[in-house]
Every structure is written in C-alpha cells, then in structure tokens.
Amino acid sequence: MKSPNMKNKRPTLQDVADLVGVTKMTVSRFLRNPDQVSAPLQTKIAEALEDLGYIPNRAPDILSKSKSHAIGVLLPSLTNQVFAEVIRGIESVVEPAGYQTMLAHYGYSKEAEESRIATLLSYSVDGLIISESYHTERVRKMLAVAGIPVIEIMDSVSPPIEQAIGIDNEAAAYAMTEFMIKKGRRKIVYFAARMDQRTLFKIKGYETAMLDNGLTPLCLKTNSASSFTLGATFLKDALQQQPDTDGIFCTNDDLAIGALYACQKAGIKVPQDIGIAGFHGHDISRAMVPLLTTVITPREEMGRLAAEHLLSRLQGNPVSQRIIDLPFKIEAGESV
C-alpha cells in the first residue's frame, strides 16, 4: 500500500483506491457515474467506500473550479424575526437545489459588512444575498471583482448593484398613516427603533402623510433594538410629550404589541382611546386579541424569490428584472 491512512485522517479517494487496487481516478468516476466503471469494480468500490466511511471533500473542487455550491447570505441581524423568516424563505429554495447556505450578519455596522462580505467571498460562494441598499465603495469593488451574482433584498427603491427584491417601505408607511388618518386619528406618534435605512424610509413615509394631511408628525426614536418592553417605554414617553395622542404607528409589530399590552395594563382602551398599528404582520399579530392593525410584508417570499433569482442567474440566465417591488398589504385588524 502506497500511503496507508495511519495518521487517522479522514480517508481520501486515494485510500479507497488503494483498498480496491485501482487508481483514484476510477473511484472518482464511480462516485459521479457508477456506470463508467465495470460491474465487478462497482461492487468492490462501493464496499470500500462504505468500509472506510469515505466523505467527499469539496476543497479541491472549490480550488480548481472556484465554485463552492454554497451561497452567502448577509443580513443585519439574526435577532429580528423578520430576518429569521427571510432565511427560512431562502433555505426553502436553496436547500432542495443542493446548495449550502453560509450565513453571516453584521449588526448594522458598515465595517462589519465589509469584513463579512470578504469572508464570504473567501469561501468562494457562488452567489450572494445581501440586504440594505447602501454599500461602501469597498464593498462595491469587492463584489465587482468577485464577479458573482448579487441580490439585494428588503428595499425596492434604491438603484441596485445588480438586482433588488423588496418592498417600498416609504409607500407602505405612507399608506398605513393615511389609513389611520381615515380612521379619524389626528395625533399619531411614530415609534422608531434601530435606525437603519428601512426605518428611515418608513419615518419619511409617515411624516409625509402627516404633513400632506395638515397634521404634525411626532417621532420617538432610539438606536437600540426593538422589543416589547421598548414599546411600553415609548408609550409612556408619548403620553408625556403629547397627552392627547390618539394613534401610535410602530416601526414593527414588537413595539406595537408592547405598546398595546402597556395600554391594557394602564386601562387605556385600544382602539377606543388610542389606535395602534404595527409593521410586518407576524403570526402573533393575526392571532391576538384585538387583532393588530399592521402592514403585512412578504418576508418569506422575499427570501424565496431572492434565492430563486439567484439560482437562475447561477444557471447562466441574465438579470430579468432589476427591481422587483413586492406588494405590501394594509391589514385593518381591530387595534385602530
């Protein structure tokens, strides 16, 4: 035997070949198409593979072909249920197609984004799904140099690097604000957390709608992550700053639900005294009492579509549509 595996290392094709008495090329052929190998050898090779517990090694293939059969997914955070659902959508497409997902997150920091993208590229991912529409020059250059398909998700407004799939957050916030105004709300306060680009778009939509209707916008902001507790805190602040507040529009469902429960505890009637609206339409908002008024966003579909378009591009198809603007929906609910 040439190089018996005495080092207790994972067996290689060579080890299998040695065991059978052929060259590793023959074993390699068997693995990809057994019929390329004579019948007796098929049996022996299959046995040897099983015997040694051979597990293929992608590294050489990645090295020579620069293709890893993995796609990189870079999201701002994993804390947020929104992104968990996006991941689910991506996985539902990518996994059956035989691709592996490499997940990374950058905590809303631009430097971290640069380094995460470099890392993902260093693994030779075949394609990337990233979020946020603003990227540094460095990031743009890296992506250009890498020459792999890139899809941006979440936002459908800014001009994409190649292709964007998302919703128009500003329009959605505008629509919800108008909805609340139509329902007779006048003193509507906006609760904003995690001041990322999407939140800024939403604030703009809210403020524009207020001003368009001759009303005065009031926005409570913080950079920390949203939570139920934060919704309760914001409620207190809002009532202090504007005691006659009759509407609250939150940048996401968490804040809205937190505010709603805080109202219940404080004896404030929803929607009679204050109307509360959320954003996203998570499952809980469609089950709770009262049903939450919210903007339903296609989070899972966004992931699914992004993955589908990415795979299509990996098969050589060109970008079919630079911006895919997915519809949102105003869910009337019972809380406004």
Stretch that binds a second copy, among 23-31, 236-244, 268-276, 286-294 (CB under 8 A): 286-294
Task: Work out whether 1 is an interface residue with DNA (CB under 7 A).
Answer: no
Task: Work out whether 34 is an interface residue with DNA (CB under 7 A).
Answer: no
Q: Please say which residue, 68 or 294, places its beta carbon nearer to a second copy.
A: 68
**β-pairing, 329-331 with 293-296?**
antiparallel
Task: Work out whether 59 is an interface residue with a second copy (CB under 8 A).
Answer: yes
Q: For the chain, what is the radius of gyration of the CA atoms?
A: 26
First to last CA, the chain: 78
Give the one entry of DNA, a second copy, none that residue 100 binds, where binding means its C-beta sits below a cut-off of 5 to 8 angstroms depending on kind: a second copy
User: Three-class SS string for 204-220?
Assistant: HHHHHHHHHCCCCCEEE
Shortest distance (Å) from residue 37 CB to DNA: 4
Task: Work out whether 266 is an interface residue with a second copy (CB under 8 A).
Answer: no
Shortest distance (Å) from residue 14 CB to DNA: 6
Q: Please say which residue, 63 or 78, places its beta carbon nearer to DNA.
A: 63
Q: Please say which residue, 18 or 113, places its beta carbon nearer to DNA.
A: 18
> Which residue in 154, 171, 199 sits closest to 300, CA to CA?
154
Q: Please say which residue, 51 or 212, places its beta carbon nearer to a second copy.
A: 51
Between the CA of residue 118 and those of 72, 74, 103, 138, what are the distances in Å? 11, 11, 13, 10
Q: Please say which residue, 124 or 169, places its beta carbon nearer to DNA.
A: 124
Task: Work out whether 269 is an interface residue with DNA (CB under 7 A).
Answer: no
Q: Please say which residue, 68 or 177, places its beta carbon nearer to a second copy.
A: 68
Q: Which helix (H) or strand (E) holds 31?
A: helix 24-32
Task: Work out whether 268 is an interface residue with a second copy (CB under 8 A).
Answer: no
**β-pairing, 188-192 with 163-167?**
unpaired
Which residues 65-124 are close enough to bind a second copy by CB under 8 A?
66, 68, 70, 78-79, 81, 84, 87-88, 91, 95, 100-105, 118-124
Give the one entry of DNA, a second copy, none that residue 232 binds, where binding means its C-beta sits below a cut-off of 5 to 8 angstroms depending on kind: a second copy
Exposure letters 71-87 (e unless 16+ CB within 10 A, then b) = bbbbbbbeebbbbebbb
Task: Work out whether 29 is an interface residue with DNA (CB under 7 A).
Answer: yes
**CA 42 – CA 269 distance, rounded (Å):** 74
Exposure letters 104-116 (e unless 16+ CB within 10 A, then b) = bbbebeeeebbeb
Sign of CA dihedral 227, 229, 235, 238: negative
Q: Please say which residue, 5 or 158, places its beta carbon nearer to DNA.
A: 5
Say if residues 157 and 201 touch (Cβ distance below 8 Å).
Answer: yes
Give the one entry of a second copy, DNA, none that residue 264 binds, where binding means its C-beta sits below a cut-off of 5 to 8 angstroms depending on kind: a second copy
Residues that bind a second copy (CB under 8 A): 8-11, 52-53, 55-60, 62-63, 66, 68, 70, 78-79, 81, 84, 87-88, 91, 95, 100-105, 118-124, 141-142, 144-147, 227-229, 232, 254, 257-258, 261, 264-265, 283-284, 286-289
